[in-house]
Structure 1
Amino acid sequence: MNENSFYGPIPASLFNISSIQVITLRGNALSSQLPIDMCKHSLHSLRLLRLSFNKLYGEIPSSLGRCSNLELLSLYNNSLAGEVPKEIGNLTQLTQLFLGFNCLNGDIPKEISHLHMLNSLWIESNKFTGPLPPQIGNLTSLRELVLYNNNLTGNIPKEIGRLKSLETLSMASTGLNGSIPNEIGNMMALRHIYLDNNALNGVIPHEIGQLYNLLTLSIDSNKLIGTLPSTFSNMSSVKYISLSHNTLSGALLREIGNMKALQELYLINNTLTGVIPEEIGGLDKLVALYMNDNKLIGHLPRLILNMKSLAALSLNKNALTGNIPGELFTANIKSIDLSDNHFQGSIPPAIGRSLNLTYLGLANNSLSGSIPSTICKLRSLQFLDLSNNNLQVEGISIWNKNWGWTKNLALRLDLTALHDLYIWVVLAAMVESIRVRGSASDAYLLLTAEEGLADDCLSLL
Structure 2
Amino acid sequence: MYVERWLMHSCFFSWIIFSSSHLPALQSNRNLSCRLDLFNFKQGITNDPSGVLSSWDISGSFCTWRGVACGKALPPSRVVSLELNSLQLAGQLSPSLANLTSITWLDLGSNLLSGPIPKEFGTLPKLQDLILANNNLSGIIPASLFKDSSRLVVINLQRNFLNGPIPDFHTMATLQILNLAENNLSGRIPPSLGNVSSLTEIHLDLNMLDGSVPETLSRIRNLTALTLGYNQFGHFPAELYNITSLRIHDLGDNITGLIPPSLANASKLQEIDLFYNALAGPVPLLGSLPHLRVLNLGSNSLKSDNWAFITSLTNCSNLTMLIMDDNRLDGSLPISVGNLSSNLQRLDLGNNQISGKLPEQIGNRPQLQLLAMDQNSISGEIPP
Same fold (TM over 0.5): yes
Asked if 1:151 corresponds to 2:158, the answer is no
**Residues 34 and 158 from structure 1, CA distance in 2 versus in 1: closer, same or farther, beyond 3 angstroms?**
farther
Q: How does 1:37-436 map to 2 (within 5 A)?
A: 37=58, 51-52=66-67, 69-137=78-146, 138-159=148-169, 161-227=170-236, 229-244=237-252, 246-278=253-285, 280-299=286-305, 300-301=307-308, 302-329=311-338, 330=340, 331-368=342-379, 370-371=380-381, 375-376=383-384
Q: 3-state SS of the aligned residue for 2:109?
A: coil
Deviation at 1:343, TM superposition (A): 2.1
- The count of aligned residue pairs is 331
Query: Are residues 80 and 340 of structure 1, via their aligned partners in 2, closer, same or farther at CA, if it must alter by over 3 Å?
Result: closer
How far has the Cα of 1:36 moved from its partner?
A: 7.6
Contact persistence 1:68–1:90 (CA under 8 A): no
Counterpart amino acid of residue 91 in structure 2: G
What is the distance in 1 between the residues matched to 2:151 and 2:300? Answer: 41
Counterpart CA distance in 2 for 1:78 and 1:191 is: 29
User: Is the Cα–Cα contact under 8 Å of residues 50 and 73 in structure 1 kept in the other structure?
Assistant: no
**What is the CA-CA distance between 1:38 and the residue it aligns to?**
6.2
CA contact (8 A) 1:335 1:357 kept: yes
One-letter amino acid matched to 2:238: S
Contact 2:166 2:185 in 1 (8 A): yes
Q: Give 1:352 shift.
A: 2.5
Output the amino acid matched with 2:302: L
Residue 97 of structure 1 aligns to a residue whose secondary structure is strand
| Cα shift at 1:17 | 12
For residue 110 of structure 1, report the CA deviation from its aligned partner: 0.9
Local SS of the residue matching 1:176: strand
SS at structure 2 position matched to 1:265: strand
Over 3 Å counting, the alpha-carbon distance change for 1:289 and 1:167 in structure 2 is: same
Q: Give deviations 1:220-275, integer Å, cap 9, x for gaps.
A: 22222224x2212442221112223x211111011101011111111111111111
Percent identity, aligned pairs only? 29
Indicate how the Cα distance of structure 1 residues 352 and 101 shifts in structure 2: closer, same or farther if over 3 A, else same. closer
2:31/2:77 contact within 8 Å kept = no
Whether the aligned pair in 2 keeps the contact of 1:264 and 1:286 (CA below 8 Å) is: yes
1:94-121 per-position Cα deviation (integer Å, ceiling 9, x unaligned): 1111222222222111111210211111
Asked if structure 1 preserves the Cα contact closer than 8 Å seen for 2:242 and 2:263, the reply is: no
Residue 323 of structure 1 deviates from its aligned partner by: 2.3
How far apart, in 1, do the equivalents of 2:270 and 2:94 lie? 43
- What is the CA distance between 1:144 and its match in structure 2? 0.6
5+ long unaligned stretches in structure 1? 1-14, 24-28, 54-66, 377-461
Flag the 1:34–1:129 CA change in 2: closer, same or farther, 3 A.
farther
Partner of 1:5: none
Contact 2:52 2:66 in 1 (8 A): no
Whole-angstrom CA distance in 1 between matches of 2:55 and 2:172: 33
Any gaps of 5 or more consecutive residues in structure 2? Answer: 1-27, 39-49, 69-75
2:314 counterpart SS class: helix
Q: What TM-score, normalized to structure 2?
A: 0.78
Distance 1:364 1:31 in 2: 54
Q: Could you tell me how far apart the structure 2 residues matched to 1:165 and 1:265 are?
A: 27
Secondary structure in 1 matching 2:235: coil
**Cα shift readout 1:418-458 (whole Å, capped 9, x = no counterpart):** xxxxxxxxxxxxxxxxxxxxxxxxxxxxxxxxxxxxxxxxx
Q: Distance in 2 between matches of 1:38 and 1:207?
A: 53
* 8 Å contact kept, 1:296–1:319: yes
Counterpart contact for 2:55–2:65, Cα < 8 Å: no
AA of the residue aligned to 1:334: Q
Q: Note closer, same or farther for the CA distance 1:96–1:31 as it changes in structure 2 (3 Å cut).
A: closer
Asked whether the 8 Å contact 1:235–1:259 carries over to 2, the reply is: yes
CA 239–269 in structure 1, closer or farther in 2 if over 3 Å, else same: same
**Cα 1:107–1:33 shift into 2, 3 Å:** farther
Classify the secondary structure of the residue corresponding to 1:350: helix
SS of residue in 1 equivalent to 2:150: coil
Decide whether the 8 Å contact of 1:317 with 1:339 is kept in 2.
Answer: yes
Equivalent-residue separation in structure 1 for 2:105 and 2:227 (angstroms) = 25
Q: CA deviation at 1:142?
A: 0.2
In structure 2, distance between residues paired with 1:78 and 1:16: 31
